[in-house]
Chain A
Amino acid sequence: QVQLQESGPGLVKPSQTLSLTCTVSGGSISSGGYYWSWIRQHPGKGLEWIGYIYYSGSTYYNPSLKSRVTISVDTSKNQFSLKLSSVTAADTAVYYCARDRAGDYYDSSGSSIYYYYGMDVWGQGTTVTVSS
């Protein structure tokens, strides 16, 4: 079955760029019908969606983080990555990557219908601390 694994530095200095990679195993990141997400969880808090990418490179970001976030994909390595710039202590969190079952299809009338079936596979998460 598909598994996801986050990797990257656990400590980042303020004002620098946080960089994480999610490696997909057991399946191809280029399979249609899936988007690939980053989510974070501040200590003791709830979940915050950061953004996601399709294998074609199309991206969507949380409007509250959009100015600092870049998500990219490397299909040859079966990986996708997160960059978050100008970090502060408020970016200290556990960062998860996940697979979203989502996409669109055309119905009999030719109308585009989107579907979303949730984040069905998650990585174990990686803790990132922002501190000097």
Chain B
Amino acid sequence: EIVMTQSPATLSVSPGERATLSCRASQSVSSNLAWYQQKPGQAPRLLIYGASTRATGIPARFSGSGSGTEFTLTISSLQSEDFAVYYCQQYNNWPVLTFGGGTKVEIK
């Protein structure tokens, strides 16, 4: 089983600042990684797939990078609507999918 570990668990950031979230895989997942955003009481929303391809309608301030075992989601200038929990998901082991434990981005 591929284990996905996200860090930090909580990230405190001021509006307008950059946020950098990390996701590490227990073994290489190539570029087979997606990122999701979840706000309280809502379903997750797809942000990124293929490690760096933005999903339809996702603002350019969201960017993904990395390959192998180390991945990063960067939010270039945090807006109020970006405070949420973010999850990474690997699909290199498709059809089996696994999610990371999440990073909560909160207002500093």
Chain B min CB distance to A62 (Å):
7
A46 partner residues in chain B, CB cutoff 8 A: 87, 99-102
Q: Does more than half of chain A's interface fall in helix, strand or loop, or is it mixed?
A: strand
Evaluate contact between B98 and A122: CB separation under 8 angstroms. no
* Cα distance A80–B45 in the bound complex, in angstroms: 21
Evaluate contact between A116 and B102: CB separation under 8 angstroms. no
In the assembled complex, A117 has its CB within 8 A of some CB on chain B: yes
By beta carbon, the residue of chain B nearest A116 is B91
* Interface size in chain B (residues, C-beta < 8 A): 28
Interface 9-mer from A10-18, A25-33, A47-55: A47-55
B32 partner residues in chain A, CB cutoff 8 A: 116
* Cα distance A73–B36 in the bound complex, in angstroms: 26
Q: A96-B43, A102-B94, A122-B45 are in contact. List 4 more A-B contacts (CB 8 A).
A: A49-B89, A49-B99, A63-B96, A114-B94
Name A's B-contacting residues (CB within 8 A). Answer: 37, 46-49, 52, 60, 62-63, 96, 98, 102, 114, 116-120, 122-125
